[in-house]
Amino acid sequence: MVFVRPIAGKKLLGSAGRHTVVTDRKAADGGSDAGCTSGELLLLAMASCATGSIRNALTGQVLGADDIRVEVEFVSQKTPGARDSILITVFLPQAILATGIDPIVTAATSGGVVSRIRLGSDIAVACKPLESFPHPLTP
């Protein structure tokens, strides 16, 4: 269970157990950009869920799971008023890609968070070489 309350301006304070997080709107949307937006937190939860499920699947296959990165984004639809779809992109070492992506795709959409969201949204999964990950490879 989580709880959220307003704290100042567009900022909200969320708590889950003993953990807290501040959400906010971007400055262009009237916020102060003091924290993630709610949408960014949703994507972060999905990425965390997918990464954990993929790690578990790779560990079960005795494949290294430390060098994976997952990016989740909303993809706008061309039809006005249509709900955005969600794209999960999994960046993997070539050695893992060479074993086939079907187990990765299944794992990416099987976790508790992603599987629940998938019931109401279109979710696609793409797999790419780790070397193409667009952000610094930091732990």
pLDDT, tens digit (0-9, with 9 covering 90-100), for 85-98: 899 999 998 888 88
The pLDDT confidence band at residue 52, using thresholds 50, 70 and 90, is: very high
Cβ partners under 8 Å of residue 25, min gap 6:
10, 31, 33, 37
The pLDDT confidence band at residue 29, using thresholds 50, 70 and 90, is: very high
- Contact between 72 and 46 under an 8 Å Cβ cutoff? The reply is yes
Q: Which residue has the tokens 């993809």?
A: 75
The fraction of the chain above a pLDDT of 90, given in percent, is 58
138 pLDDT above the threshold of 70: no
Q: Which residue has the tokens 């969320």?
A: 14
d(Cα 96, Cα 104) in Å, to the nearest integer? 9
Residue range 47-132 in CATH 3.30.930.10: no
d(Cα 103, Cα 105) in Å, to the nearest integer? 6
